[in-house]
Chain A
Amino acid sequence: MSMVEFKNVVKRFGANTVLDGISLSIDPHEVVVVVGPSGSGKSTFLRCINVLETIQEGDIVVNGLSVLGSPAQVRELRREAGMVFQQFNLFPQLTALENVMFGPIHTRGVSRKQAREEARNLLTKVGLEQRMDHYPGQLSGGQQQRVAIARALAIKPKLMLFDEPTSALDPELRYEVLKVMQDVAEAGMTMIVVTHEMEFARRVGSRLLFMDAGQIAEDGVPSELLMNPPSARMKDFLQHVS
């Protein structure tokens, strides 16, 4: 069974069609990297999967749950799809540890004690065992993003969505975040990553989607697509990013 299934999805903002009839199936353990020029709809593509945006036509099924379901079903779906944002969006009033504990306690009903233990393990995994009791404001961008990844993983999702996770970071901080993402991928997580990091796509990605004007223009193996871009549009795009 596929993890994510797009069935002829159309998304419009007013008269502007952002996703124009997308059909696609993503299997478990795939690491899908989505690239494309700005305004091509890749962020919207990602946000539609966990219903941060509602779609106008078609259907998306995530792990057997439709985005068109009742509010309770949508919440259930979101718990299976962890999300990492470009701007981190950590809760500023909570420490790193409390940020990671928050989800399991409030969505899965885990006890505080158990949540704390799991949060410690996760933060250690992303290399932040020294920074657990710091507030987000006291952490660097790279550290904040690693906390955000741990926070998303804490809910034990079956799928992780990354919305340009390194775009707000200085180049020397990107590496630490990409490293953590690679670890997550190697642990077998299904991932959908919107990014401009072509090197990450080549090394970690198992599938590359090139989006253009609300459609998936290319879909294939990253190394092949990046080596020999099949269309002039993609060739042009790759010249501008790398």
Chain B
Amino acid sequence: MTVYITLLGLIGGTVIGFFSGVVTTYIRVPLSRRSVLIAIVALVLLIALLRFSSWFADTYMPNVPGWVWVLLKVGILVLLAWRFPASLPKALSFLAQVYILVIRGTPIVVQVMFIYFALPLLAGWRIDAIMAAIFTLMINSGAYIAEIVRGALQSVPKGLKEAGEAMGLPFWKILAYIIGPVALRRMIPAMGNQCIISLKDSSLFIVIGVAELTRQGQEIIAANFRSVEIWGAVAVIYLIMTGFIALTLKFVEHRTQIV
């Protein structure tokens, strides 16, 4: 179960992380007071519009006919769709930055508790513990991987990008064939760190009762009180798994070394 959660969590995290990393590297949004304010206001307005307008209408303005509200909603959505495309990349980059800020800034235990216990109350959907664990690991590792990706991309010499541009390549090709391969190699050590940390972090999902390694150890101890043997065995199993990750990445690093 630990392997399953970690694997799925890391795969999802890598996808999220690569996307956020690329977006935050190449689309600069100055985090000024103005841009933060605009974003917060826009977000609050959007949520208020979509979630609370019917409630507001029912409570305070029962006389206004329903179609007025529908018209208002459609109008604002059209306005957004009309004004938004030009600033879509910037909005994405900003959202990615906020995502990284929030996820790196809160403990993973709080995140999983929030997703498992608080989200059902807020949004009304209930997910089982394993899905909550996987999802938490995804968004958690994604935020860290985004920063790893950003660091690696920024470390690639600017000249390579210029060489690609001077050839007349579009940006995605420069990223995929020139900068990407160089950056990927530079990510390996930090990605190894993140894989191992995520694997060990899966032990924290004990708080929502996922039957991962640490919890299973605990359950066995509860039956036979053999703390020394069981915790020792649990530690050794973690060590084997992290050792496997470390060795794999060493191998990959060795194979892809640039002379």
| Residues of chain A having any CB pair with chain B under 8 Å | 50-52, 71, 75-79, 81-83, 85, 87, 89-93, 102-103, 106-107, 135, 137-138, 152, 155
Contacts and interface: CB of A to CB of B under 8 A. Distances in A.
B166 A93 contact: no
A106 B259 contact: no
B160 A75 contact: no
Contact of B166 (A52, A87, A90, A137): A52
Interface of B: 157, 159-160, 162-163, 165-170, 173, 177-178, 181-182, 185, 258-259
Nearest to B162: A52
24 contacts: A50-B166, A51-B165, A52-B162, A75-B170, A76-B168, A78-B165, A81-B166, A85-B159, A85-B162, A85-B163, A89-B159, A89-B163, A90-B163, A93-B185, A93-B258, A102-B177, A106-B167, A106-B169, A106-B173, A106-B177, A107-B167, A135-B259, A152-B166, A155-B167
Contacts of A106: 167, 169, 173, 177
Contacts of A91: 160, 163, 178, 182
A85 to B, nearest CB: 6
Contact of A138 (B162, B167, B169, B259): B259
A148 B185 CA distance: 23
Contact of B168 (A79, A89, A93, A102): A79
Contact of A78 (B168, B173, B181, B258): B168
Nearest to B178: A91
Contact of B182 (A78, A79, A92, A137): A92
Contacts of A152: 166
A82 B177 contact: no
Q: Among A90, A103, A135, which residue has the most Cβ atoms of chain B within 10 A?
A: A103
Contacts of A51: 165
Contacts of B170: 71, 75
- Ordered nearest first, which 10 A-B pairs have the shortest CB separation? A78-B168, A89-B159, A83-B166, A79-B168, A89-B163, A75-B168, A135-B259, A93-B181, A103-B167, A137-B259
A222 B159 CA distance: 31
A86 to B, nearest CB: 9
B26 to A, nearest CB: 15
B168 to A, nearest CB: 4
Contacts of A85: 159, 162-163, 166
